[in-house]
A and B are shown apart, each in its own frame.
Chain A
Amino acid sequence: MSEPILEATDLVKTYKMEDVEVRALRGVSLAVRPGEFVSIMGTSGSGKSTMMNILGCLDRPTSGSYKLAGSEVSKLGRGDLATVRNKVLGFVFQSFNLLARTSAQENVELPMVYAGVGAAERHERAIASLEKVGLGKRLDHTPAQLSGGQQQRVAIARAIVNRPKVILADEPTGNLDSRTSIEIMALFQELGRSGITIVLVTHEPDIAEFTNRVVMMRDGKVLSDVTQTPVDAREALANLKEGE
Chain B
Amino acid sequence: MNLFSTFRVAVLALLLNKMRSFLTVLGIIIGVGSVIAMVAIGEGAKAEVQRAFDKMGTNLLVIRSGSAQTSGVRGGAGSQPTLLWTDVDAIRKETLYVTKVAPSLRQSVQILGEGKNWTTSAEGTTPEYFEIRNWTFQYGGPFNEQDVSTKAKVAVLGGTVVDNLFGNGADAVGSTVRINNVPFEVIGVLARKGQAATGQDADDVVMVPAGTFAAKVQGGLRQYLGGSIYVGAATPDDTRRAQAEITQLLRARHKLRDDEADDFTVSSLAEAASARQEGTETMTRLLAGIALVSLLVGGIGIMNIMLVSVTERTREIGLRMAIGARPGDILIQFVIEAVVLASVGGLLGVGLGFGVATYLSSEFGWATKIDPQIVALALGSSALVGIGFGLYPAHKASRLDPIQALRYE
Contacts and interface: CB of A to CB of B under 8 A. Distances in A.
B323 A91 contact: yes
B319 A114 contact: no
A56 interface: yes
Interface in A37-71: 53, 56, 58-59
Contact of B403 (A53, A82, A97, A158): A53
Contact of B16 (A82, A101, A110, A116): A101
B360 to A, nearest CB: 42
A79 interface: yes
Contacts of B1: 113-114, 116
Contacts of A116: 1-2
B322 A56 contact: yes
B319 A86 contact: no
Given A56-B322, A97-B406, A82 B327 contact: yes
A179 B211 CA distance: 118
B321 interface: yes
Interface string B162-188: 000000000000000000000000000
Main DSSP-derived SS at the A contact region: helix
- Say what secondary structure dominates the interface of chain B: helix
Interface in A106-139: 110-111, 113-116, 119
A110 B320 contact: yes
Interface residues of A, number: 25
Given A97-B315, A97-B406, A79 B328 contact: yes
Q: Can you list the 8 inter-chain pairs with the closest CB atoms, starting with the nearest?
A: A86-B324, A114-B324, A82-B326, A111-B323, A97-B319, A79-B326, A58-B402, A114-B325
A228 interface: no
B5 interface: yes
The interface centre, meaning the residue of B325, B327, B329 with most chain A CB atoms within 10 A of its CB, is: B325
Nearest to A87: B324
A78 B324 CA distance: 10
A83 interface: yes
B327 A78 contact: yes
7 contacts: A82-B321, A82-B327, A85-B322, A101-B16, A111-B323, A114-B323, A116-B1
A58 B325 CA distance: 12
A56 B319 CA distance: 13
A98 B309 CA distance: 18
Contacts of B5: 113, 119
Interface in A194-234: none
A86 B320 CA distance: 10
Given A93-B406, A113-B5, A79 B327 contact: yes
B147 interface: no
A158 B323 contact: yes
Interface string B1-24: 110010000000000100000000
Interface of B: 1-2, 5, 16, 315-316, 318-329, 402-403, 406
Contacts of A119: 5
A23 to B, nearest CB: 17
A99 interface: yes
Contact of A58 (B320, B322, B328): B322
B403 A59 contact: yes
A99 B316 contact: yes
A162 B324 CA distance: 10
A78 B326 contact: yes
B13 to A, nearest CB: 10
Contact of A114 (B16, B315, B316, B320): B320
Nearest to B325: A114
A91 B403 contact: no
A114 B403 contact: no
A205 B191 CA distance: 103
Contacts of B402: 58
Contacts of A97: 315, 318-319, 322, 406
Given A78-B326, A79-B326, 6 more contacts: A58-B402, A79-B327, A85-B321, A86-B324, A91-B322, A97-B322
B323 A86 contact: yes
A83 B326 contact: yes
Contact of B324 (A85, A93, A101): A85
B43 to A, nearest CB: 45
Contacts of B320: 110, 114
Nearest to A168: B322
Contacts of A83: 324, 326
A56 B406 CA distance: 13
Given A53-B403, A97-B315, A82 B325 contact: yes
A78 B326 CA distance: 7
Nearest to B2: A116
A78 B327 CA distance: 7
Contacts of B16: 101
Contacts of A58: 322, 402-403
B312 to A, nearest CB: 11
Contacts of A114: 1, 320, 323-326, 329
A110 to B, nearest CB: 6
A158 B325 CA distance: 14
Contacts of B403: 53, 58-59
Interface in A168-202: none
Contacts of A111: 323-324
A162 to B, nearest CB: 8
A140 to B, nearest CB: 15
A99 B325 contact: no
A53 B318 CA distance: 13
A37 B309 CA distance: 39
